[in-house]
A and B are shown apart, each in its own frame.
Chain A
Amino acid sequence: MIPLGHYLVVSAIMFAIGTAGVFLRRNLITILLSIEIMLNAVNLSFVAFGRSQGTVDGQIITFFVMTVAAAEAAVGLAIVIALFRHRESLNPDAFTSLKW
């Protein structure tokens, strides 16, 4: 059997990768993808903790996280489309003014 700690280490590595992506990349689409990586890393530790406790609650919280991720992706991509229409760019440094 695989120890709980191994799943947690995989989850922590994926979360760190997602964080690095949010800070390092200069593309709004890739930043949203990095947020999805972070959400999935957290999902993995939820399911691993739920399995180690012997309950289904971890799976159910994962279900809710997936729903929130879908809503976040829809709204985030709509914002990206609206921003791209104004500036013809996906670089977050292009959107420094609050009003134009």
Chain B
Amino acid sequence: MLETVLFYVFSAVAVGASLLVIGQRNPMYSIMLLIAAFGALSALYIQLDAPFVAMAQIIVYAGAIMVLFLFVVMLLNAPQEDAAQWDRTHPLRRPGVSRFGAMLAVLLTVQLVWALLRVTDAGAAVGGRGNAAELTSVRSVGRVLFTDYMFAFEATSVLILVAMVGAVLLAAREEQR
């Protein structure tokens, strides 16, 4: 019972904070709300017997990636969205077109919910199969990661190296190149 209540509370926080993220005009508030959504998601991960993912969510996402976003927002110092004059002139903002877009968005949501309601074992409890103690331990995660997924893990390091070089190259000033 407590588990169900906690699931609904954290889901509501995650969905509500995500909605507010795309509703803010100031990106600084968006980033803070997204950190709140990530905290609620990590609580859902703990309910799913995945404490390693939950901690990585807090440390890597909220601690590293969101701080990077904050850095860039403070560095650029352009907090407000200057959309007013673009909105008035933009061809996609005419009433007929935007009504069509809203209809497509509602259709996407209806389609997703309809597809999910037809999943065959959606009613089965999520913790039905597997040994919870083994799934929870970081030892078993590490063992699978460094045996079955060894190549993907090494490829990830190359990806990070490429991203680092690309970011430095893109953000460097023109005259230094």
Contact = CB atoms under 8 A, between A and B. Distances in A.
Interface in B54-102: 56-57, 60-61, 64-65, 68-69, 72-73, 75-76, 78, 81-83, 86-87, 90, 101
Contact of A74 (B22, B121, B164): B164
Q: How large is the interface on A (under 10, 10 to 19, 20 to 34, 35 or more residues)?
A: 35 or more
A29 B69 contact: yes
Nearest to B34: A33
A1 to B, nearest CB: 3
Nearest to A84: B76
Interface in A19-38: 19-21, 23-27, 29-30, 32-34, 36-37
Interface residues of B, number: 84
B31 A33 contact: yes
A35 B93 CA distance: 22
Interface of B: 3-4, 7, 11, 14-15, 18-19, 21-22, 24, 27, 30-31, 34, 37-38, 41, 44-45, 47-50, 52-53, 56-57, 60-61, 64-65, 68-69, 72-73, 75-76, 78, 81-83, 86-87, 90, 101, 105, 108-109, 112-113, 116-117, 119, 121-131, 135, 140-141, 144-145, 149, 152, 156, 159-160, 162-164, 166-171
Interface of A: 1-10, 12-21, 23-27, 29-30, 32-34, 36-37, 40, 43-44, 47-48, 50-60, 62-64, 66-75, 77-82, 84, 88-91, 93
